[in-house]
Chain A
Amino acid sequence: MEAVLDAAAVLLPLAYLLVAVDYGFLFFGNRSFLPGGSSLALRIVLVAHLGYLTLLAAHFQHFPAANVSEALSIVAFSILAVYAIVEWLGNETSTGFWMVALAFLFALGASLMSGSTPEDRELFRNPFFFGHASLALLSSAAFAVAASYAFLFLRLYRELKAGRFTLFFGKLPPLEVLERMMSGALLVGFIALTGAVVTGFVWAFQVVPGEFFKDSKTVATLVVWALYAAVLLLRRLRRWQGRETAIASLAGFAFTLFSFVAINLWLSDFHSFN
């Protein structure tokens, strides 16, 4: 079983890369080189990744978010799943390259960090862990998707503003659609993060009452939550338009990534995966 999991950990990012390159051909050259097209390949990789996560859960008897590698793998899977739904609903493949490329980076990170057997702690079998970790990872994936749409929005916005047209022009969905996708992803991410914070608080009150506010990850998460709450509020009040929201979305995701990497790799406390 472990040999299969090890092989899958290497092959999955390669499959992500292949699909991303195919979507790239579709975006820049209007042609897919994979038999059956990019969308079919995307669905096959999605099913393969789901199979891998199921095997991981069955093998280690816990929700596969017990270390950084597993968490990154779930984020990659979630990004791909979110994109597959968006593509299916909107029959829109033009953002596939960017979304699958982003998912590939997470899958690559998961592969590079794989190898160590996750700790076998009772905690990982706790239903609270499942709820808290899955909501937190879903929010990360949603913010990553929002940041990607924000990047594409800003590219197109600048071209339209400046009247300088590049390869992007005419190949992306219109600004209004990109803005709606970005806002939708931000909202989903914020709701999931709120759920993760609430489940985390309830759980922490039971396990480490009075201590968890000293945890760097908790503090960083609350800052991220406040940042996204402000973005959504300003948007709701129509003070911010697409451009400001896009910049804030990119900044918020950069901060989330930084805190995720910095805290999990360099700081060590009770909330770290390490």
Chain B
Amino acid sequence: MARLPGSYSAELPILVVGTDHHHALLELRERVAYDPRETEDALVGLIAMPEIEEAVLVSTCNRTEVYVRHHDGLDAFQQSLETVFLARAPEIGEEGRFFVKRGDAAARHLLSVAAGLESMVLGEPEILGQVKQATVMAEQLGTAGAVLARLARSAAAAGRRARAETQIGAGAVSFGYATVDLARNIFRGLDQCSVLVLGAGETATGVARSLLERGAGELRLANRTRERAEAFQREFPTAQVLGFDERLGALEAADLVVAATSAPEPVLRRDDLEPTLRQRKGRPLLIVDLGVPRDVEPSVGEFGNVFLHDVDSLKQLIEHNLKRRREEVAGVEAIVDEELERFAVWFGGLEAAPVVAQLHRRAEEIRQREISKHRSLFPDTTHDQLDVLTRSIVRKILHHPSAQLRESAEQENLRHLAALKDLFRLDDNESDTK
């Protein structure tokens, strides 16, 4: 049986057990990937266990993680691991195939995941939506209560801020978006760009999809085979399909050419392009050649205002963007720290109520003890007034500190709470109050 690493001592009663691209290969990750229906079943199963109070399951192609709020950390860990992972793939129990984090580290992990710090492609945006989706499902099922729902909101805030305040999500990291990136650095607006796609394979279709998602204007396709062209047009009904021989004529109006055919020889040659370029009167032309072997003669890039990029060049751009993203990690970690602190403050505020109640109880006990000790000094007829008066004094003395404690626990940090517990020895027995 897998053991919880280290001793369980964290104050925050949260635990995450999971596996991701750092710990398991795709073959193993696939077996513990949960679709929405399976997620529901797993969550209902977890919440039925007495040691688990709340549960959220995040399952994507790169990670499966279960977050639980628990009464008993060790038991909750064992139950989560067995229910979510070992029941489907016992090999995950082997050393290094899964991870477990507890307390602050577990909370920080969810915030880092939402901010894109744990993603296979650093800063990728989809994970934020996936975390939100997982939380909504758990809330609807009733398995996410106050604490995990609040933690998920902190994670969403960290994710949003990371992308708004840093460049962690900036720059393209796929061929499709790298093409969009290049176009945005050349043309005034992608919506005014006329795109000509040569080839209707998977690569060409993927790039065309990215361009249209980002608002590219006109889309035209020149392809050799009719079947693939028809399939392309089914996916992009607004696209105009041309015969492959019409490609040179179509170049005159094109701003961006995506060439991704499987032709063994170049389909755009310098000599073919020269007369067309004269008619374009110097308008910039971006050619992205994703063919291997190349679809465009490299010397085409020597023409003025023609920007020719091949697979290697796009890879360089992607690596450049990833480097920029890596430089933003420290900034994102600072945001995660801030949001984690806010969550801790909120969680501390949750604990303020019992401390305040304890303080009032302690004061009332002292009042009653002192009243009974000195009651004989006062006439019988005044005992009721004496009771009302002392009760009022105690209430008035404690009113402001109690309000202040609740407020500071919500807005600042947990120091006041800790100081009060220490000063009044609220965790100790009654013996000290004599």
What's the least CB distance linking A168 to chain B, in Å?
10
Is A241 located at the chain interface by the 8 A CB criterion?
Answer: yes
Q: Are B282 and A160 in contact (CB under 8 A)?
A: no
Query: If the complex has contacts A238-B281, A242-B305, are A160 and B186 also in contact, measured as CB distance less than 8 A?
Result: yes
Residue in B closest to A163 when the chains form the complex, CB atoms: B313
Which residues of B are found within 8 Å of A165, using beta-carbon distances?
A: 316-317, 320
Interface residues of A in 210-249 (CB under 8 A from B): 238, 241-244
Q: Are A161 and B186 in contact (CB under 8 A)?
A: no
What's the least CB distance linking A155 to chain B, in Å?
11
Is B201 located at the chain interface by the 8 A CB criterion?
Answer: no
Q: How far is the CA of A78 from the CA of B167 in the complex (A)?
A: 33
Interface residues of B in 286-307 (CB under 8 A from A): 301, 304-305, 307
Task: Give the interface residue-count category, chain B.
Answer: 20 to 34
Q: How far is the CA of A244 from the CA of B282 in the complex (A)?
A: 11
Which residues of B are found within 8 Å of A242, using beta-carbon distances?
A: 282, 284, 305
Is A170 located at the chain interface by the 8 A CB criterion?
Answer: yes
Which residues of A are found within 8 Å of B186, using beta-carbon distances?
A: 160, 174-176
Q: Are B309 and A175 in contact (CB under 8 A)?
A: no
Which residues of B are found within 8 Å of A163, using beta-carbon distances?
A: 309, 312-313, 316-317
What's the least CB distance linking A162 to chain B, in Å?
9
Is A30 located at the chain interface by the 8 A CB criterion?
Answer: yes
Is B184 located at the chain interface by the 8 A CB criterion?
Answer: yes
Task: Give the interface residue-count category, chain A.
Answer: 20 to 34
Residue in B closest to A30 when the chains form the complex, CB atoms: B167
Which residues of B are found within 8 Å of A244, using beta-carbon distances?
A: 304
Which residues of A are found within 8 Å of B313, using beta-carbon distances?
A: 163
Q: Are A164 and B304 in contact (CB under 8 A)?
A: no
What's the least CB distance linking B256 to chain A, in Å?
13
Which residues of A are found within 8 Å of B320, using beta-carbon distances?
A: 165, 169
Is A156 located at the chain interface by the 8 A CB criterion?
Answer: yes
Q: Are A174 and B185 in contact (CB under 8 A)?
A: yes
Is A202 located at the chain interface by the 8 A CB criterion?
Answer: no
Q: Are A241 and B316 in contact (CB under 8 A)?
A: no
Among the listed B281, B304, B307, B312, which residue makes an inter-chain contact with A160, where contact means beta carbons less than 8 Å apart? B307
Q: Are A161 and B301 in contact (CB under 8 A)?
A: yes
Residue in A closest to B184 when the chains form the complex, CB atoms: A174
What's the least CB distance linking A192 to chain B, in Å?
26
Is A47 located at the chain interface by the 8 A CB criterion?
Answer: no
What's the least CB distance linking B179 to chain A, in Å?
13
Is B187 located at the chain interface by the 8 A CB criterion?
Answer: yes
Residue in A closest to B166 when the chains form the complex, CB atoms: A30
Is A177 located at the chain interface by the 8 A CB criterion?
Answer: yes
Residue in A closest to B171 when the chains form the complex, CB atoms: A170
Which residues of A are found within 8 Å of B167, using beta-carbon distances?
A: 30
Among the listed A160, A176, A241, which residue makes an inter-chain contact with B182, where contact means beta carbons less than 8 Å apart? A160
A-B contact pairs, 29 of them (CB 8 A): A30-B167, A156-B185, A160-B185, A160-B186, A163-B312, A163-B317, A165-B317, A169-B320, A170-B170, A170-B171, A170-B181, A170-B185, A170-B321, A172-B185, A174-B184, A175-B185, A175-B186, A175-B187, A176-B187, A180-B188, A238-B281, A238-B282, A241-B305, A242-B282, A242-B284, A242-B305, A243-B304, A243-B305, A244-B304
Q: Which residues on B are within 8 Å of A, measured CB to CB?
A: 166-167, 170-171, 181-182, 184-188, 281-282, 284, 301, 304-305, 307, 309, 312-313, 316-317, 320-321
Q: Which residues on A are within 8 Å of B, measured CB to CB?
A: 30, 156, 160-161, 163-165, 169-170, 172, 174-177, 180, 238, 241-244
